[in-house]
Structure 1
Amino acid sequence: MSSSDTGELVTDPPRRRMAREDRHRQLLDMAWQLVSNEGTEALTLGRLAEQSGVTKPVVYDHFGTRGGLLAALYREFDARQTALMDAALQASEPSLASKARVIASSYVECVLLQGREIPGVIAALASSPELERIKRDYQASFIGKCRTVLAPFAGTGAIASAGLWAMLGAAEALSHAAATGEITAAQAEGELFETIVAMVARNASGGVRQA
């Protein structure tokens, strides 16, 4: 309650409870901000509750554990990356150069859009076998998509698994370097593009044993 100018008591309007979906969005946004400002190690459910202005049970209700929160952040990143790449692939020309450029630019661009936060989240996913499996599942999904997109240009119609995993490793390393300013985004995209084209060319020439 508060007092009016006439001295009468005025009842404050009741606070509207935030819808669950809106609260979830608020918590995720604050989690990304915490990682960006203080690093992944500072991201705890208690700290997130404090910064979001809610009680701990609210945060526990949405994520359960710190691992659940990290998994939610990674899923959001993966969904954003998938949507970005799918849209670009659909609009691209049916050539190896075009598809490889889309894969390279989409991967690097999505990491840069998320800033320095996502490398820390990815690293934190290795903290438990369960989280590591989540990361591996999403990596396998990305590799499967790339295999399907690139296979028509491989001659034999198959892409070796070893080459695809090497491509993913290069994508993660180059994107991280671009996010931390060690190289430019253009350099990261260019190097990843060359890596993808060379991988497909090796498969097309039979230079790599097929998995």
Structure 2
Amino acid sequence: MSSTDGSPAAPRQRLSRDARQRQLIDTAWRLVREEGTEALTLGRVAGEAGVTKPVVYDHFGTRAGLLASLYREYDSRQKTIMDAAIEATPATLAGKAGAIAATYVDCVLGMGLEIPGVSAALAGSPELQKIKRDYVAGFMAKCRRVLDPFAAGQAIPAAGLWTVLGAAEALSAAAAAGEIAADDAKAELRDAIIAVVGRSGGA
């Protein structure tokens, strides 16, 4: 078929595999944002992206695989932003605690209510539970590495790290839902981190 000016019509451009995966993930995030994780099926993603179901199955395999991809992307983004913020802050407890608190809350706010929904959906299978456990272990290890030097030579107890994680999840979710201000969530989380270190022997 020729175009109206007599030149051949340009062939439809096929996306590379990486570009297609990016399109499908972006589509999935939009569905979660607009309709919640209940709407997230491979068939629905295919329809919204304008591709056939086999294309989506080829990229993710199962719904669990798609959820895992979303969570890993969020985890990678949070790690990159948090590491940069921690590196850029003064070597003080208040500075490091503030960097952890601010980036945790900002990353959740950047995803709106999507990431709490995806996180909750991770409880749906052993595979997804493992992904979340790995994320938790990584976050706690980062907190220990950054905060232990301020604990007067004492290692922060595991219970203290769970306190930090619980506060981070609850406060950021409340901020994402508009129940508290983002700055209040960051300040409260920073103070909670400082308190945990203080109980572990820090100043």
Whether TM exceeds 0.5 here: the answer is yes
Runs of 4+ in 1 over 2 A off after TM superposition: 1-5, 10-13
Q: Following the alignment from structure 1 to structure 2, what is the Cα–Cα distance between the partners of residues 181 and 2?
A: 55
Match of 2:50 in 1: 53
Give 1 or 2 for the bigger CA radius of gyration: 1
Match of 1:33 in 2: 30
The Cα of 1:13 is off from its aligned counterpart by 2.4
**Paired letter, 1:70:** L
TM-score by length of 2: 0.96
Q: Within 5 A, what are the aligned runs for 1:171-182?
A: 171-182=168-179
CA contact (8 A) 2:3 2:9 kept: no
Match of 1:64 in 2: 61
| Equivalent position SS for 1:30 | helix
Match of 1:124 in 2: 121
| Equivalent position SS for 2:168 | helix
Match of 1:140 in 2: 137
Q: Following the alignment from structure 1 to structure 2, what is the Cα–Cα distance between the partners of residues 192 and 97?
A: 11
Q: Within 5 A, what are the aligned runs for 1:73-92?
A: 73-92=70-89
Q: Following the alignment from structure 1 to structure 2, what is the Cα–Cα distance between the partners of residues 11 and 3?
A: 6
5+ residue gaps, structure 1: 206-211
Over the aligned positions, Cα root-mean-square deviation in angstroms equals 1.4
Q: Following the alignment from structure 2 to structure 1, what is the Cα–Cα distance between the partners of residues 107 and 88?
A: 17
- The counterpart of 1:198, out of the listed 182, 195, 199, is 195
TM-score by length of 1: 0.92
5+ residue gaps, structure 2: none
The Cα of 1:157 is off from its aligned counterpart by 3.3
Q: Following the alignment from structure 2 to structure 1, what is the Cα–Cα distance between the partners of residues 51 and 43?
A: 10
- How big is each residue's C-alpha offset from its partner over 1:4-57, in whole Å with a ceiling of 9 and x where there is no partner? 48xx8x753221110111111111111100000111000000000000000111
Q: Percent identity?
A: 62
**Paired letter, 2:53:** K
